[in-house]
Structure 1
C-alpha cells in the first residue's frame, strides 16, 4: 500500500478516523481511501496501544464509523456548512 499523501492529509485522515461520527465513507469520499487502507494507515502511524484503542472504539457500539450503525435520520456525512473538499473549513461569512 503506497499512498501519496502529504503530512497534512495524513493528519486530517487520522483526525477524521478518531471522530466517532465521521464514517469511513466520508474519508473515502474526500481522500479515495477504502476502509482497509485507513486501517493500514492508522496501524502504520499510531503507536500500537493507540491503534488497539482506536480499533476497539470503532468496533464498539459507541462509534458510528459504519453507516449501518448510524441513526437512519442522518442522511449526510458532513456538516451542511462544509464545502465538498475544503480542508474541512467553514467558509468565511
Structure 2
C-alpha cells in the first residue's frame, strides 16, 4: 500500500461521517484492516483515543446509522417534509 492511499484511509477513518463500509468500497479494506492500519500508524495513546471515539459512533457503521436515522424520523414528519400529505 502506498503512502497516498494510507493517508487517505487514515483521514477517512478519523472522519465521523465516513463509514467503514465506504472505506471498504473505495479501498477494499474491511474494518479489521483499517484498525490494523490505524494501530500501526498512530502512537498508542492516539490509537486508544481513536478506538474510543469510533466505538461510541453509530455513524461509523452504515446499517446502525441508517436504522437510527429511520428511528428518529417519524413517518408523519417525513410526509410533511416531502410534501406528500
TM-score normalised by the chain length of structure 2: 0.73
Structure 2 residue ranges without an equivalent (≥5): 70-85
Q: CA RMSD in A?
A: 1.8
> What is the deviation of 1:72?
4.6
> What is the deviation of 1:68?
3.0
- How many matched pairs? 69
> Does 1:15 pair with 2:11?
yes
Cα deviation per residue 1:17-47 (whole Å; 9 max; x = unaligned)? Answer: 0000100001100110010000001000111
TM-score normalised by the chain length of structure 1: 0.67
Q: 1:46-61 counterparts in 2 under 5 A?
A: 46-61=42-57
What stretches of structure 1 move > 6 A for 4+ residues in a row? none
**Higher normalized helix content (fraction of residues):** 2
Counterparts of 1:70 and 1:48, CA distance in 2: 28
